[in-house]
């Protein structure tokens, strides 16, 4: 039996009848066609499906869709401002933190959630916080560097 879901995704009010046994990632990708959020393992182990829900980074592949009820959801599609990329996205591009790009949307969302809460993380904190994101390509060093750069830039921009 379908249930009525009311939620906000990337600032947009959404109401849909959904099958409650569906996972949130499938709702985002198949129903809302927001395919920026990726599916790697679908078991909560790789971080590819990371989104931000009520300010916290979560794995959308292991969340029942109804957990999104009355929640504020942000996916990679909601990060740019009028077509201008978010500084985290820009720093990932500049720093070569992206190769095949499959882990990238998840990592960017994880990074955003981290920097929103902790604008000046240490390298150790970055590693601990992002340890649930698996990247098969970059070797993590460039990701870590890009996160530190993005943090620096966001701090500077917030002072302007």
Partner 1 sequence: MNYVIAESTAEVIEVLKKANGLACIVAGGTDLVLDIDTGKKSAGTLVDIMRIPELKKIELVDGFLEIGSAATLTEIHSHPLVKQYFPSLAKGCRTVGSRLIQNVATLAGNVITAQPAADAGMSLSVLDPQFVLVDEGGTRICGVDGMYAGFGVSEVDSCKTLLTKIRIRIPNEHEAASFQRLELRKSLSLPMLNVAAMGSISGGHFDWVRLRMAPVGKGPVRAVQAEEWLAGQPVTPETFSHAGELALADAKPRSNPLRGSKEYRELTLPVMVERALLDIAIQLNALEG
Which of the listed partners (partner 1, ligand FES, none) does 63 bind, with a CB threshold of 5 to 8 Å by partner kind?
A: partner 1
- CB distance 23 to 63 below 8 Å: yes
SS (H, E, C) 70-132: CCEEECHHHCCECCECCHHHHHHHHCCCCCCCCCHHHHHHHHHHHHHHCCCCCHHHHHHHCCC
By the rule CB under 8 A, 148 interacts with partner 1 = no
In the bound state with ligand FES, the residue whose beta carbon lies nearer, of 142 and 153, is 142
- CB distance 74 to 116 below 8 Å: no
Which of the listed partners (ligand FES, partner 1, none) does 67 bind, with a CB threshold of 5 to 8 Å by partner kind?
A: partner 1
- Pick the closest to residue 106 from 56, 62, 67, 49 (CA basis): 49
Residue 70-109 contact track with partner 1, rule CB under 8 A, x = bound: ----------------------------------------
In the bound state with ligand FES, the residue whose beta carbon lies nearer, of 44 and 119, is 44
In the bound state with partner 1, the residue whose beta carbon lies nearer, of 6 and 100, is 6
Residue 119-148 contact track with ligand FES, rule CB under 6 A, x = bound: ----------------xxxx----------
- CB distance 114 to 148 below 8 Å: no
Query: Alpha-carbon torsion 95, 99, 101, 102, what sign?
Result: negative
Give residue 27's region: left, alpha or beta (phi > 0; psi -120 to 50): alpha
Which one among 19, 30, 45, 156 touches ligand FES, defined by CB under 6 A? 45
Q: Under rule CB under 8 A, which residues in 2-61 are in contact with partner 1? A: 3, 19-21, 23, 43-45, 47, 50, 56-59
**How far is 67 from 63, CA to CA, in rounded Å?**
7
Q: How far is the CB of 34 from ligand FES (least distance, A)?
A: 15
Please report, as ranges, the residues that interact with ligand FES according to CB under 6 A. Answer: 39-42, 44-49, 59, 61, 98-104, 135-138
């Amino acid at each position: 039996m379908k249930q009525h879901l009311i939620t906000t995704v990337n600032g947009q009010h959404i109401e849909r009848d959904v099958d409650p046994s569906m996972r949130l990632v499938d709702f985002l990708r198949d129903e809302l066609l927001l395919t920026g959020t990726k599916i790697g393992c679908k078991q909560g182990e790789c971080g590819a499906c990371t989104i931000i829900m009520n300010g916290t980074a979560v794995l959308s592949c292991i969340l029942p869709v109804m957990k999104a009820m009355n929640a504020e959801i942000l996916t990679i599609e909601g990060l740019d401002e009028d077509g201008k990329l978010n500084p985290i996205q820009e720093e990932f591009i500049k720093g070569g933190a992206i190769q095949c790009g499959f882990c990238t949307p998840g990592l960017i969302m994880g990074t955003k959630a981290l920097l929103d809460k902790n604008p000046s993380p240490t390298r150790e904190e970055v590693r601990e916080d992002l340890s649930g994101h698996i990247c098969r390509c970059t070797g993590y060093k460039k990701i870590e560097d890009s996160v530190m750069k993005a943090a620096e830039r966001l701090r500077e921009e917030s002072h302007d």
